[in-house]
Amino acid sequence: MSLSIVILAAGQGKRMNSDLPKVLQPLAGRPLLAHVLESAQRLAPAAVYVVYGHGAEQVRAAFPDPAIHWVLQEEQKGTGHAVMQAIPLIPDDHQVLVLYGDVPLINVDTLTQLMRAGGADSLAILSVILANPVGYGRVLRDNAHHVYRIVEQKDATRKEQGVQECNTGLMQAPAGALKRWLSGLKNNNAQGEYYLTDVVAVAVRDGFKVNALIAPTEAEVLGVNDKQQLAALESEYRRLQAAALMATGVTIIDPNRLDVRGMVIAGRDVTLDVNVILEGRVQLGHRVIIGAGCVLQDVTIGDDTVIRPYSVLQQATIGTHCVVGPFARLRPGTFLADHAHVGNFVEVKNATLGTGSKANHLSYVGDATVGQHVNIGAGTITCNYDGANKWPTTIEDGAFIGSGTMLVAPVTVGENATIAAGSTITQSAPPNQLTVERSSQKSLSHWRRPAKASEAVRAARIAKGGPAAKKPPTDTQ
């Protein structure tokens, strides 16, 4: 039987005190709704319908996927009313799975079990056992332990409020039957809304079996209504991601201080120190070591490479046996071949460093192609931007760039060339030669360093409109 998924995402989220609609609040760097959509798509449904309302334009703009069917709920009149907006679009012979855009940690395995609990003549709901069920709808069972009704907190009797099995809102039902049940919903309740949960009692009346699957963990069915709950789910997400990595053999120095905000593929014997952030797609080879405080976004790192503390790598590819950092920044388009070194306070952008090449100190390498076994001295800058255009620098194999060198692009440094320290290179340097560019050095024997005047002398000079202290003589004096 084909599956259609309906995701309810129309809520405003007033308690967030934010201009962002609730389903766009970020969890692990992505909107809440993105997590739910990812889980939904992993179930390979025939169609996904997102019922949206508050912040309609923002929500749709955040998800340009043409496969999403958007259904506007202009007035928010409850969960039942929300599903009513989408149900006419779904064929009667489909199964309908209802999810929530603010319940981001739902496990795909749990959803698969929920789908198995449903059928053409049954309704499946997902429940959870809570030690403190205040605020949740209660799942009511008869003496034979069969579910016969769900009652909301505000409509429950004192006895019913003592029930600890609670409704999560997630359910699966046959589309044709669900259409009939929704058409008969009433809003004569404490909130004046059309509750989706009311279809349970109607399904029982129609002779359908209601199967309640109890969620294996409380965390995966928790919704988000305020920033505290959002932070709690962020912590839970971190815990889950760290546990998954450690299960594959990754050593994490402190799982509470690792943030995974994307997909991580790790080889054997990888080590992650404290306060590491991994974003986007991160692929780590065998025996990679990531130092404390590093941020990695969409990077691939080869075997036996060390990223030293407090380095930031974005959209970069790093070879094997490389060393990066500490305090290095590799910007998009960086490629380091095997055995390359990039040291402290070095920035690399849209550049390639060949095998065994090094830029160890205080340098900027941008829009450059650096060959093999090149040494880039401290304070070297590739001057790649003229105010309007970016220009390339080429440094061929075996070149040695002295400290404090300015390479004014476009420029080429030939194979095995040496550039003397302090040079400003504006023309290509020939291979196998020393290139020097420096102004004449002068020493002034009669110059004297200014002495600090007393406060009285300074005040007197200022009062006369003169200098507060003698100026040093110029080289023409």
Specify the 3-state DSSP secondary structure of 390. strand
* Strand partners for 317: 300, 335
As given in the structure block, the two tokens for residue 1 are 């039987």
Give the chain's end-to-end CA distance (angstroms, integer): 96
Alpha-carbon distance 306 to 297, whole Å? Answer: 16
As given in the structure block, the two tokens for residue 62 are 């955040």
Of 128, 179, 162, 123, nearest to 146 by C-alpha is: 123
Judge contact between 245 and 259, C-beta under 8 A.
no
Is 54 an annotated catalytic residue?
Answer: no
> Distances in Å between the alpha carbon of 143 and those of 129, 140, 147, 203, 260?
18, 10, 10, 18, 46
Helix axes 79-86, 175-183, angle to 10 degrees: 130
> Distances in Å between the alpha carbon of 272 and those of 73, 269, 309?
45, 10, 11
* Strand partners for 423: none
As given in the structure block, the two tokens for residue 444 are 């002034």
As given in the structure block, the two tokens for residue 250 are 């990754």
Q: At a CB cut-off of 8 Å and minimum separation 6, what does 388 contact?
A: none
CB neighbour class for 321 (10 Å; exposed up to 12, middle 13-18, buried from 19): middle
Alpha-carbon distance 300 to 455, whole Å? Answer: 61
Which position among 94, 361, 373, 446 bears the catalytic label?
361
CA 395 to chain centre: 35
Active site residues: 361
